[in-house]
Amino acid sequence: MLASLTNAGILDPNKLEIISYSLGGHTAGFIGAKFQEVTGRKLNRITAIDPAGFCFRYRPPEYRLDETDADFVDVIHSDVDGFGILAPLGHVDFYVMLKDARYSFLPCFFVCRHLRAFQIWIKALRHPDGFVGLRCKSIHQARTGNCYHNYPMVTNVLGEKSDRGKRGIYYLPTTAFPPYYMGKSGIVRD
């Protein structure tokens, strides 16, 4: 349908964005790949909110979401040890972590962490400069928040204002309670 509308001149692929959640992340990747195959053009953007890990963790890129599926693919990872996927899949991958370890005791199991990415995305739309991530050299650094020794320090914001030129893996510090964002204060080392 999208390809037909694009080929008919009704849709501009430079304005097409797909926002997806969980299994929808990989579905968006399949749509992007098929769209490119049929039209010879790429979708503008795919945002994948905690894309599913089940059945996709060990799949090659052609069988899951990856950065070739759109001109820009940004990913929010919040439950990499449960329903989500650990591997970076996009041009920009944000790994959501609680900044304050005192709240790690909160009774939040797989489903809660998986839903958290969606809640954070909604808040990022309402507060476009609220979620500031710090670029890391590895997933391990992002998961531990140990990215402060990387120079130069590079930041990027989660959401519509994400800088497409600042590709990489990002540590995204958050609070345990709404509105979750910390702004630039979240990237200051304690």
- What are the tens digits of pLDDT across the range 32-88? 999 999 999 999 999 999 999 999 999 999 999 999 999 999 999 999 988 999 999
Q: What is the pLDDT of residue 108?
A: 61
Q: What is the pLDDT of residue 185?
A: 85
109, 115 Cβ separation under 8 angstroms: no
The residue type found at 123 is: K
Instruction: Tell me if residue 114 is catalytic.
Output: yes
Comparing CA positions, the residue from 50, 43, 45, 57 lying closest to residue 11 is: 43
Higher-pLDDT residue of 185 and 139 is 139
Instruction: Tell me if residue 100 is catalytic.
Output: no
CATH superfamily of 2-187: Alpha/Beta hydrolase fold, catalytic domain (3.40.50.1820)
- Phi then psi for residue 180, to 5 deg, are 75, -30
Higher-pLDDT residue of 113 and 28 is 28
Please give the structure tokens belonging to residue 100: 């304050």
Q: What is the pLDDT of residue 103?
A: 47
127, 35 Cβ separation under 8 angstroms: no
170, 142 Cβ separation under 8 angstroms: yes
123, 158 Cβ separation under 8 angstroms: no
> Burial level of 64, CB count in 10 A (0-12/13-18/19+)?
buried
Per residue in 154-179, pLDDT tens?
999 999 999 999 999 999 999 888 89
What's the rounded Cα separation, in Å, for the pair 175 and 106?
A: 12
Out of 50, 69, 71, 74, the active site residue is 50
Question: How much is the average pLDDT of 119-123?
Answer: 95
The reply to whether the predicted model has a pTM over 0.85 is yes
Instruction: Tell me if residue 162 is catalytic.
Output: no
Ordered by start, the domain boundaries in the chain are 2-187
Out of 22, 26, 93, 162, the active site residue is 22
Q: What is the pLDDT of residue 107?
A: 59
Q: What is the pLDDT of residue 110?
A: 59
Please give the structure tokens belonging to residue 114: 């998986």
What band does 102 get if pLDDT is binned at 50, 70 and 90? very low
